Structure formats: structure tokens, C-alpha cells
Amino acid sequence: MRVFAFSVLFIMLALSSILPAQGYKYHSYYSILAQSGLDVDRIRSVEGILIVGRNDKNIFVAADDISASKVASLGYVITKSSQDEIFGAPLDGYYHTWSQVMSEIDSFTETYPNIAKCDTIGFSVQNRPIIRVKISDNPGQNELEGRIQFNGCHHGNEKISTEINLYFMRYLCENYGVLSEVTSLVDNREIYFVPVVNPDGFVLNQRYNANNIDLNRDYGYHWFNESGASNPFSEPESRTMRDDFISTGYSITLDYHSTASYVNYLWDYSPRIVPDYYEVVNMFSLPYADSTGYTPIKGYDWYQIAGSCQDATYGLFGILAVTIESQMPGDPDPECLKNRGAMKYVAKLAGYGIQGYVLDSVTGQPVEAVLFFQKGSDPKWPVNSSALSGDYQKILSPGTYSVTAHAPGHVSKTFSVQVLADTSIRQDFHLAPSDSRFGMRMMCARQEYSNFSNTTYTFDALGPADGIAMSMNRQGYAIIDFGENFPVTDVAGYDLKVCEANDGTADSCFVYVGNTPEYAGTWIYLGKISGTDSFDISATGLSQVRYVKIMDDGGSTSGAKPGYDLDAVQGINQPNSIEEPVYPVTPGNVSFSLTGGFFSDKELLISNLSTETIRVQISIADVSGRVVASDDITAGAGTTSYSIKNSTLGREMTGSNIYFLIVETDFISESYKILLFR
């Protein structure tokens, strides 16, 4: 829940929701006869004043007596008010208790086991379960369908957020097989609910969790000491949500709060426009607002906060995210009904854009990758494929996109993909193995909170070094993951390279390594560097490291690219992970064969026993994983021959003469080790 002073709506929130970092103490509520935006600004500037709401005649504040007298000295009429006068009468019993929430969820899974599945994904401070419900036609399977998560009650006293989740769950379950729209939605989407993120706060009827931490300020993207904790992701509840975002791979999440009537879109911490602005606002927020009658608004323009769930969901994991603020009336059902149509719309939207699998071209096993999307000169926020299944999803507006998959231990690959309206396009990646190592997921990141002249993105630090960097700012840091299967291994000599992009200044940073993603976890200090430098991790006593923490040294304070310019973190001199391909592979009616001597020109023969023309992507990569030549051809029925000549392709090659030929269709992939020479 957030506050914005110029809203013409009456905003209700608990006092403890937004205590600032300075630690002011508020003792009373006051009503101030004031209306204009100028009045709001003057009142906000008084030290010790906290604006908690506004209607068309009054501004409502929390303050101590001294601060209230300062407001009066400015010429305003200020009168003391009761909590009930400002926040309304207490709830009248139409809301579920904790035990009733658990009972309701049990009834869904017991009555509708074919479409509803319940999991405990974590535990609160006081060991209450954090429950997630999945509704889909095959709830026990992970299918390549649009995935959406609805969650509620980050703040334990905002009970309407739980009710909206329960109401929509009940609606889907009771109308599956009855209403065609609901049946189609459940059959073609995976719809998840976490109705109570903060079980302890729910039971205690308080905003904070049992450690008195504001969970919606505890997430590790541009976190800045607003949660009450000393580090980001300090609480088991926020860590549970983080881990669920990573493991499940949603395309959209909606975070429900109370009590205003807003569709709050990215960012909360910054006035910058997000790269996915069209998708977040035009495809997502505006239709939701139109359906509910709520007001769409950027979080920063309403009330600036750092460390919110929606900022981290998008900034760390590439999942489109919006916060829904709704009123909390005595009877929750009308408010729940108001949201139902919009929730159906967003669940449909979750399946639009690009989706597919990233797989190893030799073994067929899932590959954990970071995928970048570019529309013309405009980048979109990247997403990661799942380590468990290799699948990925990205909501995109119609248009042509360049899509690149970078995966540690594999050769990168790029496709051009045409996205159509109101549907999904399948694009799989079969990546050839290589010995590459680089950071592919951001676990925690921060640039300086107040320096918005910095135009770089945190995701610029992911993938192989490319000269495009995350400028970290004076207070910046990043925790970067090499992935589950390709940590940096201790070998003879240097193992780890931290790369700074060249902007004319060699900036400095501190480098730490470890095998935990937690900011306050066990980290081993490697040293301070200036510019690009390499390390031997043998001094740490660790045989391998999965995570690297980079912290700016605080030496740079301003400009468009302040602080250390983190281009990439890379493993170097790593064990060769390339395996000899197993061939020929012959699924269905398509097969490949390679003729010609090892040192001579070669012919790729594509045998197509079907009557349909197929598309074949041909790529040649060097041993570092760099694609040095590629072609896209079609193969009709019968045998198609494609020449691979040293005389033509060889002139593009540098370094080693050993290369990999990767041949792919939509349903088969093969790799060959070849030798080319100039």
C-alpha cells in the first residue's frame, strides 16, 4: 500500500504502513482544511508530518503535537480526528479468518482435484505455511502455457487482497465445465494464487510480518533501507516469493493491496519509463483500470518507495508486474466482483507474445538461459528460462523482434520472430555446447536511489561481455548467478573475470564470491579492482562458486554512467564441457547427414520424407561459442543439399580451425564438429 497526496480519492491506510527511515513518531491523526496541490506540497514539507489520505475538502495526516502546531502556524485550520473518522469503521465480519482461509483452500483442492492443486512454497517467521494454489486443466504438470500469479496480503491488515484472490479461485473452480470462457481459460493457462504472503501479519491483523518488517519494502531491487530490516530479502516471506518467481517463471504477476482504487504500474522507485512500457501500460494496466473503474498511475508519481515486490518481480526476473490497490469495504464481495472481469482479461494476456524451450542440442536437456528481446533499436527486459524444464515466456506487443538466448556452457543463438496480436508464437532454442561461463541471472541489484540521469539498465551486466554495461552509481551493487549447472570451477591460474565496459574512465569495485544468493550470506572477499581484472578463486578455499557480488567503491557521484560499469562476470579457463554429438538423430521424417572429408569442402544433406517444406537454420560457431556464420534455408520433399565451403566461410573465421556446425528445424537439432581453414 502506498500514499499519494494529490489523489482526489479518499485514501485509507494503516499508520504503520509508511514510517519513514528517519524514525519519526506519530501520536495523533489530524484533519486539515486544504485542497490544492500547493497545499499538499506545503504540508508535506513540514518535518514530522505524514499524509495518510485526502478527499475533496481535507488532507488527513498523522503527526505529533509539535508538528501539528507548525502546520497551524502556516495558516491552516487543523483539527484532531479519531482513527475511525479517517479510516472508517472496523470490519464487520465478512472477511475470512486465517483458519477459514485454509479451510477454503482445502475445499477447492478436495472438490476440484482435476483442476486445483495446493502447495506449501515456504513458511513465515512463526512457521505458518505460505500456500500457493494452481488452477489448470493439468495442475500436476508444467505445460507450455501462459502462467500468471495473483498474490495478496503482503500487508497483513489489508484483508481485501486475500478476498479478491479467494473469490476468483472460487469462480474458476465452480464455473469450469459450466461457462465456456472459464473452461477455455483453465484449459489454456496456468493460474496461480498466493492469497496470503504474510500469514503472521494476517493473524495479528498488522501491516508488518512477525519481525516487524514491511515485506513490500524488503525485495532486493533498488532496496534502500525502507523495510525496517538491515538488508534486502531479509525475511522468509519475501525469499519464498523470490524463489517462486524464479522456479515457476510467470509472465505476469498481480500484487493486491488496499485501500485506494489504483492500478499502480512500474516503477515505484524511479520516474524512468520501463522498456516494456507499452505492454505494461497499454496492454495491461489501462484495460484493467477500464474494467474496474480504478485509476491507472505510475508508482513513482503516486508515492515513491524502494524495495517493492513489483519492482523486483520485473527488475530481477523480467516478469511483467502491476500492483492493484482496492478499497476495503465492510462487505468484500462487490469489490471482488469488480476485479473479476479484469482478472480474466489479464489471465488471457499471460499467454500472448513469445514462448518456447531452451534445450541442449546434443542431449535435449533443459538449459538455463537469459533471453534478450530487441524491437528495432528498443530493448525489452530479458527473461530467464527454467533450469527444470527449459521453458520461457515473454509478453510482447505485435511486431518483429530479435530474440537472443545466452546460456552458460552453450553457444548463443539469435532468431528473428514475428509476434502477432492476441496469440503466442513458439520459438525454441537448441544450443550447441561450449566452454563459456558468464552470469545469467540477477539476484539482487541496486543503483543509487536519487541519480536518475543514469540511463543504463541492470540487465546490461548479464550475458557475455559486449561493451554494454550496468553503471552501478555511488551506492550500487549486483549479485549475479552463473546458474545451477555451470558454476565457476577452480582450475590452474585465473578462474573469474570481472569486465568493465570502456567509457573512458577505469572505475573501481569490490568483488566477493560465494554459493548463496543472500546479500547478508557468506561471502568471501577477492579484492578491489579498477577496470577489468581477473581472479584465482583457489585462495577462497572453494572448489567452485555460483554467485558473485560486485559493489561499487563509492568513488563516482554523478553523470550518465557513474560508478563501476559492470559489463559481465565471466568464468575463464574453465573445463571444456563440449561433448561429441550423437548422430544421426532421426525423429519422424527428417534427418541430416554430412558428407566430405574432415579437411575438405562439405555437403549437408537434408532428407525430408514428408510432403511439407521445412525451415532449416544453419549456424557455425567457434569453440568460444561465438556464432561466426549463419544461414536460413527451406527444404522441400526429398533431399536438399547445402554446401559448406572452406573458401567461402573460411574467410570469416579467426583463431582455432575447429568449429561446430549446428543444424536446426522446429523439431530436430544436430551438431557436428568440423574443421575449416582459410
Q: Other C-beta atoms within 10 Å of 121: how many?
A: 16
Lowest-confidence pick of 120-134, 169-183, 597-611: 597-611
Residue with cell 486475500: 162
How far apart CA 123 and CA 132 sit, in angstroms, is 11
Rounded to a whole number of angstroms, the distance between the first and last alpha carbons of the chain is 64
pLDDT for position 659: 75
Q: What is the mean pLDDT of residues 167-195?
A: 96
How far apart CA 82 and CA 97 sit, in angstroms, is 26
Residue with cell 552453450: 410
How far apart CA 309 and CA 240 sit, in angstroms, is 12
Q: What is the mean pLDDT of residues 655-671?
A: 69
Q: What is the mean pLDDT of residues 424-449?
A: 92
pLDDT band at 93 (very low <50, low <70, confident <90, very high): very low
How far CA 669 is from CA of 520, 563, 616, 635, in Å, comes to: 43, 43, 9, 15
pLDDT for position 269: 93
Query: Is pLDDT at 660 greater than 80 in this prediction?
Result: no
User: Is there a cis peptide before residue 275, judged by omega within 30 degrees of 0?
Assistant: no
The 58-63 sheet, strands edge to edge: 50-54, 58-63, 28-33, 78-81
Lowest-confidence pick of 1-15, 167-181, 357-371, 404-418: 1-15
615 vs 355, which has greater pLDDT? Answer: 355
pLDDT in tens, 243-276: 999 999 999 999 999 978 999 999 999 999 999 9
Among the listed residues 658, 491, 483, the one whose alpha carbon sits nearest the alpha carbon of residue 572:
491
How far apart CA 324 and CA 152 sit, in angstroms, is 10
Contacts of 51 (CB under 8 A, 6+ apart): 3, 5, 40, 43, 44, 59, 60, 61
How far apart CA 560 and CA 136 sit, in angstroms, is 46
Query: Is pLDDT at 646 greater than 70 in this prediction?
Result: no
pLDDT in tens, 342-378: 999 999 999 999 999 999 988 889 999 999 999 999 9
How far apart CA 390 and CA 395 sit, in angstroms, is 17
Query: Is pLDDT at 577 greater than 80 in this prediction?
Result: no
Threshold 0.95, pTM exceeds:
no
pLDDT for position 619: 78
Residue with cell 527449459: 390
Q: Is 57 helix (H, G, I), strand (E, B) or coil?
A: coil
Lowest-confidence pick of 4-18, 72-86, 224-238, 606-620: 4-18
pLDDT band at 578 (very low <50, low <70, confident <90, very high): very low
Q: What is the mean pLDDT of residues 291-319?
A: 95
Query: Is pLDDT at 652 greater than 60 in this prediction?
Result: no
C-beta separation of 575 from 435 below 8 A: yes
pLDDT band at 650 (very low <50, low <70, confident <90, very high): very low
Q: Is 221 helix (H, G, I), strand (E, B) or coil?
A: strand
Helices 236-248 and 309-317: crossing angle in degrees, nearest 10, is 40
Mean pLDDT of the chain: 85
pLDDT band at 53 (very low <50, low <70, confident <90, very high): low
How far apart CA 547 and CA 471 sit, in angstroms, is 19
Residue 352 has, within 13 A of its CA and on its CB side, a CA count of 19
Length of the chain, please?
678
pLDDT for position 18: 33
pLDDT for position 51: 63
To the nearest 10°, report the CA torsion of 529, 534, 540, 541. Answer: 180
pLDDT for position 378: 92
How far CA 116 is from CA of 151, 189, 349, 374, 619, in Å, comes to: 16, 13, 21, 37, 44
pLDDT for position 339: 96
Q: What percent of the chain has pLDDT over 90?
A: 61
Q: What is the mean pLDDT of residues 90-97?
A: 61
C-beta separation of 169 from 185 below 8 A: no
pLDDT for position 148: 98
pLDDT for position 46: 84
How far CA 164 is from CA of 93, 139, 595, in Å, comes to: 16, 21, 63
Lowest-confidence pick of 345-349, 519-523, 538-542, 553-557: 553-557
Query: Is pLDDT at 651 greater than 80 in this prediction?
Result: no
Instruction: Quote the radius of gyration of the chain (alpha carbons, Å).
Output: 27
Query: Is pLDDT at 505 greater than 90 in this prediction?
Result: no
Q: What is the mean pLDDT of residues 234-249?
A: 97
pLDDT in tens, 165-178: 999 999 999 999 99
Contacts of 413 (CB under 8 A, 6+ apart): 404, 405, 429, 430, 431, 619, 627, 662
Query: Is pLDDT at 13 greater than 50 in this prediction?
Result: no
Q: What percent of the chain has pLDDT over 70?
A: 84
How far apart CA 516 and CA 539 sit, in angstroms, is 18
Q: What is the mean pLDDT of residues 382-408?
A: 96
pLDDT for position 581: 39
How far apart CA 586 and CA 601 sit, in angstroms, is 24
Lowest-confidence pick of 90-94, 346-350, 489-493, 622-626: 90-94
Q: Is 511 helix (H, G, I), strand (E, B) or coil?
A: strand
Q: Is 186 helix (H, G, I), strand (E, B) or coil?
A: helix
